[in-house]
Every structure is written in structure tokens, then in C-alpha cells.
Amino acid sequence: MRHLLLLALAAAASAASSPLSRAGLPLSLGRAHSATTQGLDLKALSPPKAEGAPLRLRGGAANPVVFFDISIGGANKGRVTMELYADLVPKTAENFRALCTGEKGQGKSGVPLHFKGSKFHRIIEGFMAQGGDITRGDGRGGESIYGEKFADENLKHKHKHTGPGVLSMANAGPDTNGSQFFITTVATPHLDGRHCVFGKVTDGMDVVQAMEANPTSAGDVPIKPVVIADCGQIS
């Protein structure tokens, strides 16, 4: 199975021929993105502000709110709370929600369809944190609640990769969504139209920043494991 990746637009022919990372992103593009943020205080960047209560779905129901309790190197770092855009991308939001609760049981791969215990296997400072590989844990796997993969959904809706705290699907090209996702730590407009934005961090961006500050080794793998120690649905 091909590595899941965050696709990026190549700015030059040389970038297209650059060595690929574990998840397929040209290393030159990942580093170039980080370089553009040098001199900025990433800790001062705030997530997109929650505009009151979660948006309402047709029929009056509110968008789901879910959480991750994060540990780094075995130490609890706090909770990340997220609103899912079920009003705009219901299938993608439902996949993530159910993977947070674990309510679907065992998947076709033989592992639980549950984020609990899984890792953020790839973190690039000044870019994003990627996780959700529930089958292999290294960026080469993943499984959705609908089977191994499902199609892209409403890529042109109003929410874009506009800043820190955006929740979006990682993929290996069109219509290859599984369980892998990423949380942005800066604006990443080059991913618009290629990755489905399905939610936002509403609380706990300081935890995401702690994840981002954790040193990494080759392949942008965190040296201290960043684990979803617990997860579920709040409302």
C-alpha cells in the first residue's frame, strides 16, 4: 500500500524530483514551508476562534464535538477539543467521529476502528501534525469505517486551510481517504482542493503546539511518542 501523504503543489521542477518523506511529501517543500515561518512566534499563533456554539445541522442538531487526550513520552499533556463539520461533509465527519468513539468495533483489517492508543507518526514544525494510522502506526496504513478507503467529499466548501487548528484528511491522491488526518499549525493554502477540511480545534491548541515542539528524527517521526491516550465524543 502506498504511503498516505499530504500532497503539496510543486513550486519548481526541482521540487518534483526531491527525495520523498515517509508520507510522500517532497522534503524540500516541507522544509521550505517551515523556513517561511522562521522568526515567528509559533506559540503565539492562535487557533481559529470558535464562533459561539457549534453550527446547527438541518433539523436542529449541532455539529459533533469530539476530543483527544494526548500524551507525549508517556506524560499527559492535556485535551484537544474539535468541532466536526457534519453540516458540510457528513460522511467525512462521521468517519472521524466514529473513530473517536470506537463504536464500530473491529475493522476489515482485524484491528479496532478506534483512534485510542494510536500515534501522531509525523510532525513537521511550522506545518502540521499527522496521525490516525490505526493499522500500522507509521503512515503506511489506516482504515475508514466504510472500508479501507472512501471518496473525497465537497472539497470546495467554505472552510479552507486558513490557519492553525484546521482538521483535514491525509490521502494518497484523489478518493483515497481512510483514517489518517492532520492538524495544521499554520495556514496551508496549497492544500486547498486536495484535502478535505472536516473540522477545527476549538480548545487545546496549546497541546497541539506542545506536540509540534517535540523533537523529531528522520522522517519527521517524534522522538517521544505522541499518543492519543483517550478519545471520544462530547456532544
Asked whether residue 55 is domain-assigned, the answer is no
**Catalytic residue numbers, as ranges:** 122, 127, 130, 171, 182, 191, 195
Q: How confident is the model at residue 61 (pLDDT cuts 50, 70, 90)?
A: confident
DSSP string, 162-213: -STTEEEE-BSSTT-B-S-EEEESS--GGGTTTS-EEEEEEE-HHHHHHHHH
Asked whether residue 4 is domain-assigned, the answer is no
Q: What is the mean pLDDT of the chain?
A: 82
pLDDT tens digits, one per residue of 77-112: 999 999 999 999 999 999 999 999 999 999 999 999
Asked whether residue 3 is domain-assigned, the answer is no
The whole domain housing 226 covers 13-50+60-233
- The CATH number linked to 154 is 2.40.100.10
Q: How far is Cα 109 from Cα 4, in angstroms, rounded to an integer?
A: 17
| Whether pLDDT at 52 is above 60 | no
> 3-state DSSP call for residue 90?
helix
Asked whether residue 2 is domain-assigned, the answer is no
| Whether pLDDT at 47 is above 50 | no
pTM for this one? 0.78
Structural domain total, the chain: 1
For position 157, what pLDDT does the model report?
86
Asked whether residue 212 is domain-assigned, the answer is yes
Asked whether residue 195 is domain-assigned, the answer is yes
